[in-house]
Amino acid sequence: SQTIHQWPATLVQPVGSPLSLECTVEGTSNPNLYWYRQAAGRGLQLLFYSVGIGQISSEVPQNLSASRPQDRQFILSSKKLLLSDSGFYLCAWSTLGEDTEAFFGQGTRLTVV
């Protein structure tokens, strides 16, 4: 069966520090991969999605970047965190093909102080 792992679960980082959140999927190959951010009262905002290794689409201009070094690994990064980067970050995957559901990780609560 397919599983998605996201870590860490919680993170407190000072302003200006770097960030690296990792997400891996098991039990499937060539998944579509996504990073979403959930901010209070703002729902889920799609940050990045990837349909293959090295293929990253950015949805909103921001202080973050994403990389997909391996087929089932998706990394969210920042060189210098801002206070506004605080939020709940969710990784998700779906199978190739448009009409399928997305499966979510358990999320990372990031607090920038």
Partner 1 sequence: GEDVEQSLFLSVREGDSSVINCTYTDSSSTYLYWYKQEPGAGLQLLTYIFSNMDMKQDQRLTVLLNKKDKHLSLRIADTQTGDSAIYFCAEGVSGTYKYIFGTGTRLKVLA
The answer to whether 108 and 7 have CB atoms below 8 angstroms apart is yes
Beta bridge partners of 18: none
H/E stretch holding 24: strand 19-26
What tokens does 44 get? 């889920």
- Shortest spacing between CB 80 and partner 1, in angstroms: 27
Annotate each residue in 5-44 with x if it binds partner 1 (CB under 8 A) or - if it does not, as one string: -x-------------------------x-x-x----xxxx
Burial class (CB in 10 A: 0-12, 13-18, 19+), 109: middle
Helix runs in 23-99, H state only: none
What tokens does 66 get? 């994403």
How far apart (Å, rounded) are the C-alpha atoms in residues 52 and 73?
10
- Shortest spacing between CB 113 and partner 1, in angstroms: 19
Residue closer to partner 1 (CB basis): 28 or 109? 109
Residue closer to partner 1 (CB basis): 8 or 18? 8
Q: Is 1 in the site for partner 1 (CB under 8 A)?
A: no
Restricted to residues 71-110, the positions that interact with partner 1 (CB under 8 A) are 90, 92, 94, 96, 98-107, 109
Residues that bind partner 1 (CB under 8 A): 6, 32, 34, 36, 41-44, 46, 49, 51, 59, 90, 92, 94, 96, 98-107, 109
